[in-house]
């Protein structure tokens, strides 16, 4: 009879209703300002009134490291979880290692 409540859609709806109710209750109890500032929609600029977007970070050096991290860790995760019981799974692991090596070669080759 109660197995229906454990199904994923029913559990999702129950949790959604619970957290909506919780949000509604805490929204009524929360401290709220009475007057909204006219600068509420302005971006925060470290206290500067005349912010001209000079503090924009450059992420071009970040992406190769992020790609290397993702490739190395996902390859390690996949390779270590493949069972080595049959030739087909060994071939799949070898193919994945080859793909990781090619991806790392492309990432780490020097641009001339």
Residues 91-104 have pLDDT tens digits of: 888 888 898 888 88
Number of domains in the chain: 2
Let me know whether 63 and 111 are in one domain: yes
Domain membership of residue 21 as a residue range = 1-30
> Residue 48: inside a domain, yes or no?
no
> Is the pLDDT at 79 greater than 60, yes or no?
yes
Check residue 112 and give its pLDDT: 42
| Pair 51, 43: CB distance under 8 Å | yes
Q: What's the pLDDT tens digit per position in 53-74?
A: 666 667 777 888 888 888 888 8
- pTM of the predicted protein model: 0.42
Angle between the N-to-C axes of helices 87-108 and 62-81, in degrees from 0 to 180, rounded to the nearest 10? 170
Let me know whether 108 and 64 are in one domain: yes
Q: What's the pLDDT tens digit per position in 11-41?
A: 899 999 999 999 999 988 887 777 666 666 6
């Amino acid at each position: 009879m109660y197995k229906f409540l454990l199904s994923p859609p029913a559990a999702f709806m129950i949790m959604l209703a619970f957290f909506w109710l919780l949000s509604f209750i805490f929204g009524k109890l929360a401290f709220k300002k009475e007057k909204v500032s006219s600068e509420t929609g302005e971006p925060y600029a470290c206290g500067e009134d005349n912010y001209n977007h000079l503090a924009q970070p450059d992420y071009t050096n970040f992406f190769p490291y992020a790609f290397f991290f993702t490739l190395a860790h996902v390859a390690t995760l996949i390779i270590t979880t493949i069972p080595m019981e049959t030739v087909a799974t060994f071939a799949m692991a070898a193919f994945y290692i080859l793909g990781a090596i090619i991806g790392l070669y492309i990432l780490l080759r020097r641009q001339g």
